[in-house]
Structure 1
Amino acid sequence: MGKRNQTQRRKSEDPVYRAIGNDQRRVILSLLSQTPQISEQALARRLTTTEQTAPDESLPPDEVRNSRIDLYHHHLPILEDTDFIRWKSDEDLITTTDHIALEDPRFQRLLQTEVKGIDDVLAELTETRQRLVLAILRDENSSMSQTALAREVVKWESDEADPAQAAVDETAIALHHNQLPTLSDASIIDYDTETGQATYANHPAVEEIVRILQKPDSRLVKRLNGFLEGLQTSYEQATESTSDPLGTPSIWRAPYE
């Protein structure tokens, strides 16, 4: 993929959500947290063991081979593209990077969560406008018309208090054909195509993600009691994501900016 296309895609998505928006990749990252350097074959065996809960010595060779094919063609390229691993396929070697999210307990909790619908929600949160639409509906906590929602989206994206009606109308059409049906298909919102009304469905996976990301991590603060207040303030400022509703902490996204 060319650097220009890669940069454009990263501007419209949250790479962290992209990396963990699949249950197998979350397992892979959990395994790599325990073993920062591993061969493809060894990782394939550990992944197969985890999926089948079978002893390593009794793993069917076909299953291990299929796991390695999935790793090679799907999961490892995405994890490398999102800067979580360094992958030397010619040397059969996978190494974790110094990505700051890997050291954050909140990220580890995201990897371990098994709440129903988590894959669908993480996939939907990858795209910037999807997150914005969801954040607006969740904050509204009641039904919104397609037009009212579009107006809020345009206001947020353009930073204009009174956006042009043409921009609102264009965005309303885009929401109707893209974000709203997609979020509805994932049962994250309720969307009535006839009335144009949308409502957040209080999805348990969304609430779990918000709970995890908004829970402060005080590990670093506790190490230096004399600087507790200042460190807590600095840490909160470094990890806040107010410029992107429902986005991962900005410090996690630093490698992509």
Structure 2
Amino acid sequence: MSNPDAGGRSPRSRDEVFDALADSVRREILRIVHGRSPSGVSTTDLAFELAAVTADSPLASVTDDDHQRALVDCQHRHLPALVDAGLVAETGDGTVVTTDHWVFDDSEFDATFAGRTDDETDLDALFGALADSRRRTILIVLGNQYHPLSTETLARDVAAREAETAERDVSQERAEQVLTSLVHVHLPHLNDAGLVTYDLETGSVSYKGHPSLRTDWLDSDPERPQSATGSAPVESTDGDSSDEVRTVRGRESIVTTGQSLCESAEEELFMMFTTTGLLEEGCFRRIEDAIDRGVDVYVGSRDPRVREIIRDRAPEVVLWEPQLDWLNLPPNGESVGRLVFADRKAVLLGTLGTPAADGEYDETALVGEGPDNGFVVLMRQLLGSRLDHLDTLSETGQSEIPL
């Protein structure tokens, strides 16, 4: 009989699957059973084969004691976990077969089951780390970034994705709850598994990756449109990273990327927002943090409401009002929505498509990083003189400057 959730991809289902796989003996059982299915293998024969493989000896060398120990382990420890995860089923005559679970349709899993490797302990740590939906969400967020994130930015993004809502709708209390779990539980676990680099002193996290990890293992619903949670993949051109111009799709991924650029600024942060709907609570926190670090922050908008909100929240910011449509795109249904330019070395330029019925825009952004990056050089040429002008005027005490 097959498990009713055999094909399930829910977060709980994935928790159980990865937890079951986080044991080299259970993976060995799956290799044996999967190789003998659909006819299956009896528990007695399975125990003989398992004892031989784990001892790296021929079947004829398996003693009765070895067989009995393997049989007890199978019946009382390993098979129940694999059955609960929906990976195997036991028939009425005691035969064990693999189910129609999705993992057996995944070529990467199939390769994992194909034979034993020298890094079985490493795989234990990998699957153990994946056996929690929040840790998988963390990896989705970090996998979309090419630079470290602060734990606070990461926590807000994780909280928003878990609630399937916009980051601005995440309460401070909820963000702090998630942050606490990240700092004390999940990030140390992922760091120990070699999946992330977590610097406790600076509070920064970056994706490290694993040669056996595949991104489609992380999302419990791969058929869900990426824009639903902002977890759209980051696309990039081929070639050296210094020449790379990346495309980021989906509001939440764009917000997270923009905020991480704000966090990287050491001397100067130049920003633009065309509407109040693009202002996130996390943006204000990044601006305030930058000011506390001694960074010169300039924020521009033609919308007086944006300038008023910024003035109230961060009075130390130098506000400016664009007088010309110098960043407008050709009339093709899109317009510039947001701009983040950090230290004239990294830039994010976001565009807004046609608004949906709920008023939300379909957002896309281009990102370039590095002083020699072609996109960064172009923006430096376009904005350099204006930035120098802003810097000169700000020294005179002007708080709102037209350009």
TM-score surpassing 0.5?
yes
1:137 matched to which residue of 2?
142
Measure how far apart 1:110 and its partner are.
Answer: 2.9
1:227 matched to which residue of 2?
none
Unaligned runs of 5+ in 1: 1-9, 215-237, 246-257
Contact 1:130 1:179 in 2 (8 A): yes
1:156 matched to which residue of 2?
161
Contact 2:196 2:206 in 1 (8 A): yes
3-state SS of 2:202 partner: coil
Residues 206-245 of structure 1: matches in 2 within 5 Å?
206-210=210-214, 240=223
3-state SS of 2:57 partner: coil
Distance 1:94 1:23 in 2: 18
1:119 matched to which residue of 2?
124
Distance 2:154 2:13 in 1: 20
Distance 1:145 1:213 in 2: 25
RMSD between aligned residues? 2.9
2:75 matched to which residue of 1?
72
Distance 2:29 2:181 in 1: 35
1:189 matched to which residue of 2?
196
Change (3 A) 1:128 1:211: closer
Measure how far apart 1:239 and its partner are.
Answer: 6.0
Q: Which region of structure 1 is more displaced relative to structure 2, 78-87 or 108-117?
A: 108-117
Distance 1:35 1:181 in 2: 39
2:173 maps to 1:166: yes
2:22 matched to which residue of 1?
21
Distance 2:106 2:137 in 1: 24
Distance 1:140 1:70 in 2: 43
3-state SS of 2:71 partner: helix
Q: Which amino acid aligns with 1:110?
A: T
Distance 1:112 1:139 in 2: 30
Change (3 A) 1:60 1:200: same
Match of 2:207 among 197, 200, 203: 200
- TM-score, length of structure 2 as denominator length: 0.46
Distance 2:123 2:51 in 1: 21
- The Cα offsets for residues 203-242 of structure 1, whole Å up to 9 and x where unpaired, read as xxx332218969xxxxxxxxxxxxxxxxxxxxxxx96575
Q: Which amino acid aligns with 2:196?
A: I
Change (3 A) 1:185 1:107: closer
- The Cα offsets for residues 91-110 of structure 1, whole Å up to 9 and x where unpaired, read as 54323333343354343113
Distance 1:57 1:134 in 2: 45
Distance 1:49 1:147 in 2: 50
Residues 48-59 of structure 1: matches in 2 within 5 Å?
48-59=51-62
1:31 matched to which residue of 2?
32
Measure how far apart 1:144 and its partner are.
Answer: 1.6
Contact 2:156 2:167 in 1 (8 A): no
Measure how far apart 1:180 and its partner are.
Answer: 1.0
Measure how far apart 1:33 and its partner are.
Answer: 1.7
Number of residue pairs aligned between Structure 1 and Structure 2: 209
2:97 matched to which residue of 1?
95
Measure how far apart 1:39 and its partner are.
Answer: 1.8
Change (3 A) 1:151 1:98: closer
3-state SS of 2:198 partner: strand
Q: Which region of structure 1 is more displaced relative to structure 2, 133-142 or 103-112?
A: 103-112
Structure with bigger helix share is: 1
1:176 matched to which residue of 2?
183
Contact 2:52 2:61 in 1 (8 A): no
Contact 1:106 1:212 in 2 (8 A): no
3-state SS of 1:178 partner: helix
Distance 1:151 1:44 in 2: 48
* Higher RCO by CA contacts (8 Å cutoff, separation 6 or greater): 1
When Rg is computed on C-alpha atoms for both structures, the one with the higher figure is 2
Structure with bigger strand share is: 2
Measure how far apart 1:13 and its partner are.
Answer: 5.3
3-state SS of 1:140 partner: coil
Moved over 6 A (4+): 211-214
3-state SS of 2:197 partner: strand
Contact 1:150 1:168 in 2 (8 A): yes
2:401 matched to which residue of 1?
none
The percent identity for this pair of structures is 25
Change (3 A) 1:157 1:23: same
- TM-score, length of structure 1 as denominator length: 0.70
Change (3 A) 1:55 1:124: same
Q: Which amino acid aligns with 2:142?
A: L
Q: Which region of structure 1 is more displaced relative to structure 2, 112-121 or 126-135?
A: 112-121
